Structure 1
């Protein structure tokens, strides 16, 4: 992934915002600055360099970056393994949020029955 400068990031976000509001998307026309601020904050959070994870670390989703059903928003999970090379699933349709998502972190999650389930995630989200 290429690095974005602060100026480039702001230009990209402004372009997205103008396209969305012009098309009558999910954003309200009377609060674009608030939406822009939220979007920029979440993008900044996602693009922060992730820490090095070690087996046994306990983690949870970064606020606003949950993109899968499990774990729950505040549920604590345990790092099983950080992969050296991410798994890139290119089979998914490019119209989904999972297209080319780098899966480089295996986490242990307790399901509703208390069973341990292992899932792959993008480490930038934790």
Structure 2
């Protein structure tokens, strides 16, 4: 058995939390994010990187602000086949392979769009 009321309440709570944290797409924000996406990459194999900002992060992992390492930069970007044109990652050029450590300690590799990441700056202690 499942509790349909609990499922509906949980969905409503998620939706209301999202509405409270939603960013209004102002012209200034659109220009800011477009400029970030259009900034040329400044990293190479072995560099530590992170997402440029939360708004440009389109993968579950790694978290924003958490470092990953550039494993390789691809000469030919990978374009995932079978993605619907209605999705935000349709025809996205995945041209960088990054390595990162998941919460459970596993090291994973992930193909990402290099326009979305930047060099990671280590915080001094």
Normalising by structure 2, report the TM-score: 0.70
- Displaced runs of 4+ in structure 1, greater than 3 A? none
Mark the runs of 5 or more structure 1 residues left unpaired by the alignment: 1-25
Among 72, 83, 88, the alignment partner of 2:79 is 88
Give the match's secondary structure for 1:60.
strand
In the alignment, which residue of structure 1 is the partner of 2:92? 101
In the alignment, which residue of structure 2 is the partner of 1:40? 31
Larger RCO (CA within 8 A; separation ≥ 6): 2
Deviations 1:59-78 (A, max 9, x none): 00002311111110111000
Among 108, 116, 120, the alignment partner of 1:125 is 116
CA distance in 2, matches of 1:121, 1:100: 12
CA distance in 2, matches of 1:103, 1:123: 7
CA distance in 2, matches of 1:46, 1:100: 15
Q: Which structure has the larger Rg? A: 2
Mark the runs of 5 or more structure 2 residues left unpaired by the alignment: 1-21, 118-125
TM-align CA RMSD: 1.7
In the alignment, which residue of structure 1 is the partner of 2:69? 78
CA distance in 2, matches of 1:70, 1:39: 24
| Count of equivalent residues | 95
